[in-house]
Structure formats: structure tokens, C-alpha cells
Amino acid sequence: MRLRCAVLDDFQDAALGSADWSPVEDRVEVVIFRDHLTDEDELAARLADFDIVVTLRERVRFPAALLDRLPRLRLLVASGMRNSVIDYAAAERNGVTVCGTASSSTPPVELTWALLLGLARDLVAENTALRTGGPWQSSVGADLNGRRLGLLGLGKIGARVAQVGLAFGMRVSAWSQNLTKERADEVGVELVASKEELLRTSDFVSIHLKLGDRTRGLVGAAELALFKPSAYLVNTSRAAIVDQDALLAALHEGRIAGAGLDVFDVEPLPAGHPVRTAPRLLATPHLGYVSQSNYATYYSHAVEDIQAFLAGEPVRRLG
């Protein structure tokens, strides 16, 4: 009898077309789910008959309470090599092997710039007006050349965002709690002395930090009050780094020029969520990692993970 594999949250129906699943089809029945469940009882019922689960990023939480209710589960594959919503101790206790996949930093870099450019030139409003018979030119775009781009975080993604900013002729500065002058010099950007200085002096602020105890709520009401009224904030990292209520207040009151968001406190966003109707906001539904190349990597590595598990030699183990 073949094992059963659930592929979760395949919103675009892309999983089967992004990789060759034939190496495991004789031993594994793959079932695709295109909807998203958050209720633990519903998840437990849906996954009760599956031996393998493939989950994208951190969309679905796997706490101990859920893992304890899935006695048939033996392999959990999560895209990427870091996942904060899986209880690894509970997985081990339940005999569940957890594996990951490679992931490219290029797609989130590109989306960061899509949001930043869209904000600067008010592309959504201008495109909507053009297509609906609205006014011909209703905004005056913000320049990038000569303006300051402030980066919270200068890791792999932040450094690549910096390179694009430099190519646009921007003055690029960066800050994080562990950032050194040597690292800033290596990337070719200015190290500022404090978070407050970066926020006060930047025309565009982009966040590229990992979420942890030190970064949760890093940008709140006090920090947003430091922004220039003409400045923009972009967050393609983790929603909890920014106080969402404080940001919504700043947008509604016009205290910053705008924000670009790809991450949210609740995902998918409920239909009536206030983010959906906030002014001065350009938002995308967590598309940072969603690209053809990344999906090809995620799902082809998922197949490899399943093959290796079936052979008794798991690869890319997490936890």
C-alpha cells in the first residue's frame, strides 16, 4: 500500500507542475490542498490519514498539540532550512522526521524593490486611473537618486537590496544590533550609530531582519514618530517586527508618506481586515518567496527529501 502525502496551501496549484514527482509516484500518493486551514481540529482531521506532509514556509503551525494528534505522520517537509512554527521536540517524540529545502534570497530582494518603486511612483493609483478613465497624471513621484535608503539589517537579503539602491544612486545606510563597520564597509554602505538615527535620516526604510526577542516590535509608535513625513517604510521580512496598529495609525493620520507590506500579523488576511483598506499602503499577499525558481527548488527538494526518507537516509534534516 502506498504512503499518502499531503501538500498544503498550494494556492496557485503549482506544486505538481513545479517538480518531477515521478520518482516517488509508485510508493506515494500525493494529494494537493489549495485552501488554508488554521483551526487545529480541522487540521488534525484533514491530516489524520497522511504519512507525509509538505508545507510551505511557516504558513501552517505544527505545535505539539497538533503533532500529538497525527500518529500516522512520519515525515514533515517544510520549504527553507529554518522554521519557527514547528515543535521539533514534539516531532521527535512522535517519531516524525522533519526536513527542509534550499531557498533563494533573490525573489524577496526583487519584491522589496517592486514595492519600493511602486510606492515611490504611485504606480497602483496611476495604473488604475489610466485603465478606468481617471485623471491623466495625478501624482508627483518621489526620486530615488540622491535619496537615503535606510536598511534595518544587512544580511544576505539586506546586502543585495543595498546593491540595487547604490545602483540607483541612492545613499545607503544600515543599522542592526550586531552590525559592524567591517560588514557595512564590505557591502559599501554607511553604518549609522543607532536605529533612531537611521529612521530620522532615511527617505526609504526597508526591513531585513530575522524575527526574535530582540526584533519583535522593533518599529513601534515611538519609532514611526521619528520618520520624515515624506518617508516610506517597506517590510518584506516578518510582520511582528513592526507594530501593525501603530503603522496603521501613522498611515491614516498621514504621518508617513506610505508603506509597502508583504507580511502580516494574520495570514491570509481576513476579508474585513483593516490592512486591506488602509490609505497610503501598497500590499502584496506574502509573495516574497513566491517565484518560479523558488517553487521549483522547494518542490524538487521535497521530492528528494521523500526519496531519501523512503531509503532510510533522510537529508536536510531540521531541528
Active-site annotation holder among 59, 147, 238, 301: 238
* Contact (CB, 8 A) for 215 and 242: no
* Contact (CB, 8 A) for 270 and 70: no
Active-site annotation holder among 267, 280, 316, 317: 267
* Residue owning grid cell 515624506: 230
Q: How far is CA 202 from CA 48, 88, 106, 180, 317, in A?
A: 51, 40, 24, 19, 41
> How many Å is the maximal CA-CA distance in the chain?
65
Residues found in the chain: 319
Active-site annotation holder among 57, 160, 286, 301: 286
Question: Running DSSP on this structure, what letter comes out for residue 261?
Answer: E
Verify whether residue 273 is a known catalytic residue: no
Handedness of CA 17, 23, 29, 33 (dihedral sign): negative
Distance CA 319, CA 317 (A): 7
Verify whether residue 171 is a known catalytic residue: no
Q: How far is CA 184 from CA 175, 201, 211, in A?
A: 9, 17, 21
Verify whether residue 36 is a known catalytic residue: no
Distance CA 96, CA 242 (A): 34
Reference 204, options 116, 273, 291; nearest CA is: 116
Amino acid at 20: D
Residues recognised as catalytic: 238, 267, 286
